[in-house]
Amino acid sequence: MNKRKKPSSAASRATRGGHLPGSSRASHKARGAARGTKSNGAKAPDPVSGKPAAPEKEPASNTLALAAECTVADAGSLKERLAGLLDEPQAVTLDVTALQRIDTAGLQVITAFVRERAGRGHQVEWQGTAPVLATAAQLLGLGSLLKLPA
């Protein structure tokens, strides 16, 4: 009786120290270089005084640009991004300019965000227009709750 040798997969070769097809030492170096290092935000020392410059502070942005698609597959990440803006005391602007497709799950996440902000006495403003958002909101009876621009 002859025993057949199991075919070796690329993943198992990689764990044994083999190389994946199509990989090269140069591309490996490029990937490592692309990772870079984390910065603490500090600038290089001032060339005149020699003192370290103060780290730059990024301005807090109250605008969230929605992706071209807001679907059930993206609902989790959208919810996380919106959750970070729930307690923002100033008005939050949702930029819907790029939005081309939205499903019920995406609209549900956005609606929950708008309701929660309203419950906390905070505003949500809209930037741009997205016919798909207006149509979906109208079909589900959410137009007045979302206060979408006309």
pTM score, two decimals? 0.60
The answer to whether position 29 is within a domain reads no
Q: Is residue 106 part of a domain?
A: yes
Report if residue 80 sits inside a domain: yes
What are the phi and psi torsion angles at 81 (to 5°)?
-65, -40
Q: CATH number, domain at 108? A: 3.30.750.24
The domain total for the chain is 1
Q: What's the pLDDT at 34?
A: 37
103 located within any domain: yes
Domain contains 24: no
pLDDT in tens, 96-134: 999 999 999 999 999 999 999 999 999 999 999 999 999
Domain that includes residue 67, residue range: 63-146
Q: Is residue 108 part of a domain?
A: yes
pLDDT of res. 57: 39
Contact predicate 117/92, CB 8 Å: yes
- What secondary structure does DSSP assign to 54-101, as a single string? PPP-PPPP-EEEPPSEE-GGGHHHHHHHHHTTTT-SSPEEEE-TT--E
